[in-house]
């Protein structure tokens, strides 16, 4: 495990997902400033998550064909520009387009960065959870940063939101320059024939059937994740009479709990098996989502939201590495499809729940979400680990076509 490289990639993930978290954190301020309805803000959530997710498979295919490490800094810089431009624009269409641009930047970052993190961490679930939790930490900081800048200083101060991306871009180029010098020095001292390319096909067989099963599970994960992220702070303010700061605090608690859940899920995946981490997370998330829908008081909403955030991220690292192991010859494509196209379902469905909230109230939208979430909970129990399923009585059962543990290209 290359701990230094993994830690640096986790830092870039924190910056990238800071802008992913900034968009839902901005929604209450946009509603107050520009009188948007629930459907309008859900449309912005779609622009951020749905459009972004549709682009991620494309970036995944590109990163599999040829290493494109420049997509990592280009991604989070584009995300920062889109968020700032959306905050400064006054027209809804322009705001939507800039939010979508931020989503494209976020999409460009994830496949190449995830492949690099897998290479740095090897087969360890803890390593992937460290990389993943970097993004969760960034997302959890976003509500506080947005509240501090836009809430206190107003939308004209939104260019301050770009500072983290600019600082990380400088660090990235310094790190990249140092890495190039080390590679040239190693190449100069290597014996002839060293570093020959690995022949195609030695990584194993791509199992598209099981990969499709995993995508179906993640689609069911993404719908409640995106919808709760978009609407939970509004639920605290509109239904429970809390302030904008309290609504931001709920969102911060939600994403911070996700960081804890990601790390815990990595430990469970390494110790007890990846499928156990996935199943446990989905089972715990179901009653927590019921608590969000039912919550008669702010305290119960906070507890339910924190539990839901932790439970939803227990399977995160396992789902990423399972996807890459199902498609060992296409790690970027696997990351792009699972983190991208599957997540698009959440963005596509978010406006539907926004319209339901407009017509029947936010609790009704959350109860509808609860009914939908039962299906992915059931589907999660059909997943098998290509390295050997250790989730049933400690037995190891292999799938019909074993797949070697992959390393990204």
Q: Is residue 197 part of a domain?
A: no
pLDDT in tens, 335-389: 777 776 666 677 677 778 888 988 898 999 999 999 999 999 999 999 999 876 5
Picking from 229, 239, 237, the residue whose alpha carbon sits closest to that of residue 24 is: 229
Query: Which of 4-8, 69-73, 296-300 has the largest mean confidence?
Result: 296-300
The full DSSP string for 67-130 is --TTHHHHHHHHHHHHHHHHHH--SHHHHHHHHHHHHHHHHHHHHHHHHHHHHHHTT-HHHHHH
Which residues, listed in sequence order, are joined to residue 397 by a DSSP beta bridge? 389
- Rounded Cα distance, 365 and 231, in Å: 9
CB atoms within 10 A of CB 328: 22
Please compute the mean of the pLDDT values over residues 109-131 and round it to a whole number: 81
pTM of the model: 0.69
Q: What is the pLDDT of residue 326?
A: 93
Q: From CA 320, how far away is CA 143, in angstroms rounded?
A: 26
Torsion on CA atoms 251, 255, 261, 262, rounded to nearest 10: 160
Residue 185 has pLDDT above 60, yes or no: no
Q: 190-214, pLDDT tens digit by residue?
A: 455 444 444 444 467 889 999 999 9
Q: How far apart are CA 55 and CA 341, in angstroms?
A: 8
Running DSSP on this structure, what letter comes out for residue 401?
S
**Averaged pLDDT score across all residues of the chain:** 83
Q: Provide the pLDDT confidence category of residue 135 given band limits of 50, 70 and 90.
A: confident
**Residue 283 domain-assigned?**
yes
Does residue 166 sit within a domain?
A: yes
Which of 67-81, 96-110, 111-125, 129-143 has the weakest average pLDDT?
111-125
Q: According to DSSP H, which parts of 273-391 are helical?
A: 274-294, 298-313, 316-326, 331-336, 342-360, 362-380
Question: Residue 198 falls within a domain, yes or no?
Answer: no
Helices (H) and strands (E) in the chain, counts: 16, 2
Nearest to 15 by CA among 241, 170, 186, 189: 170
Check which CATH number belongs to the domain holding 128 and give it: 1.20.1250.20
In a domain, 195, yes or no: no
Helix axes 208-238, 362-380, angle to 10 degrees: 160
Which of 21-35, 90-104, 238-252, 341-355 shows the highest mean pLDDT? 90-104
Q: Which of 50-64, 130-144, 290-304 has the highest mean pLDDT?
A: 290-304
Query: Are 258 and 272 in contact, with CB atoms under 8 Å apart?
Result: no
In-domain check, residue 194: no
Distance CA(256)–CA(276), nearest Å, equals: 22
Domains held by the chain: number? 1
Q: Quick one: pLDDT at residue 394?
A: 39
Note whether residue 167 is domain-resident. Answer: yes
Mean pLDDT of 150-173: 93
DSSP string, 250-306: HHHHHHHHHHHHHHHHHHHHHHH-HHHHHHHHHHHHHHHHHHHHH--SHHHHHHHHH
Look at residue 76 and tell me whether its pLDDT is greater than 80.
yes
- The CA distance from 401 to 345, in Å, is 30
Half-sphere exposure of 123 (CA within 13 A, CB side): 11
Which H or E run contains 43?
helix 38-45
Give CB contacts under 8 A, 24+ apart, made by 359-366: 361/239, 362/38, 362/231, 362/234, 362/235, 362/238, 362/239, 363/235, 363/239, 363/293, 363/294, 365/227, 365/231, 366/228, 366/231, 366/235, 366/289, 366/292, 366/293
Domain residues for the domain of 323 are 3-183+205-395
Question: What is the distance between the alpha carbons of residues 253 and 306, in angstroms, rounded to a whole number?
Answer: 6
pLDDT at 280: 96
- Helix, strand, coil distribution of the chain in percent, nearest 5: 80, 0, 20
Structure confidence at residue 278 (pLDDT): 95
* Predicted pLDDT at 80: 96
What is the share, in percent, of the chain residues with pLDDT greater than 70? 85
pLDDT confidence of residue 79: 94
Higher pLDDT, 295 or 40: 295
214-250 tens-digit pLDDT? 989 998 898 898 889 888 988 999 899 998 888 888 9
CB of 290 closer than 8 Å to CB of 242: no
As a residue count, the chain comes to 409
147 lies in some domain: yes
Q: Which residues contact 259 (CB under 8 A, 6 or more apart)?
A: 133, 136, 137, 140, 313
CB 332 within 8 A of CB 111: yes
Cβ-based neighbour number of residue 148 at 10 Å: 13
pLDDT at 21: 87
């Amino acid at each position: 495990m290359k701990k230094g490289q993994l830690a640096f990639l986790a830092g870039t993930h924190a910056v990238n997902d800071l802008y992913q978290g900034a968009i839902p954190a901005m929604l209450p301020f946009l509603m107050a400033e520009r009188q948007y309805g629930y459907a309008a803000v859900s449309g912005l959530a779609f622009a951020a998550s749905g459009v972004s997710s549709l682009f991620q498979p494309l970036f995944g295919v590109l990163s599999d064909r040829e290493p494109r490490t420049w997509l990592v800094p280009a991604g989070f810089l584009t995300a920062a520009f889109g968020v700032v431009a959306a905050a400064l624009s006054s027209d809804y269409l322009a705001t939507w387009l800039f939010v979508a641009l931020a989503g494209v930047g976020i999409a460009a970052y994830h496949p190449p960065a995830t492949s690099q993190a897998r290479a740095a961490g090897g087969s360890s679930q803890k390593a992937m959870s460290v990389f993943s939790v970097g993004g969760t930490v960034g997302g959890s900081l976003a509500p506080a940063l947005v509240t501090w800048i836009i809430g206190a200083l107003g939308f004209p101060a939104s260019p301050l939101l770009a500072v983290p991306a600019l600082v990380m871009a400088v660090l990235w180029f310094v790190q990249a320059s140092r890495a190039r010098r080390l590679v040239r020095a190693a190449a100069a001292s290597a014996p002839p024939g060293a570093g020959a390319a690995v022949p195609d096909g030695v990584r194993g067989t791509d199992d598209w059937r099981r990969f499709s099963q995993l995508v179906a599970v993640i689609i069911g994960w993404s719908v409640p994740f995106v919808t709760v992220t978009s609407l939970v702070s509004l639920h605290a303010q509109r239904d429970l009479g809390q302030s904008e700061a309290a609504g931001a605090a709920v969102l911060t608690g939600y994403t911070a709990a996700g960081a804890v859940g990601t790390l815990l899920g990595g430990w469970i995946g390494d110790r007890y098996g990846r499928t156990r981490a996935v199943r446990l997370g989905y089972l715990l998330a179901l009653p927590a989502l019921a608590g969000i829908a039912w919550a008669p008081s702010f305290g119960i909403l906070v507890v339910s939201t924190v539990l839901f955030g932790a439970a939803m991220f227990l399977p995160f690292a396992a789902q990423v590495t399972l996807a890459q192991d199902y498609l060992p010859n296409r790690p970027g494509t696997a990351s792009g499809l699972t983190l991208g196209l599957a997540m698009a379902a959440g963005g596509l469905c978010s406006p539907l729940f926004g319209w339901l909230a407009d017509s029947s109230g936010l609790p009704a939208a959350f109860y509808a979400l609860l009914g939908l979430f039962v299906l992915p909970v059931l589907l999660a129990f059909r997943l098998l680990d290509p390295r050997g399923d250790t989730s049933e009585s400690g037995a190891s059962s292999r799938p019909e076509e074993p797949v070697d543990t992959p390393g990204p290209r």
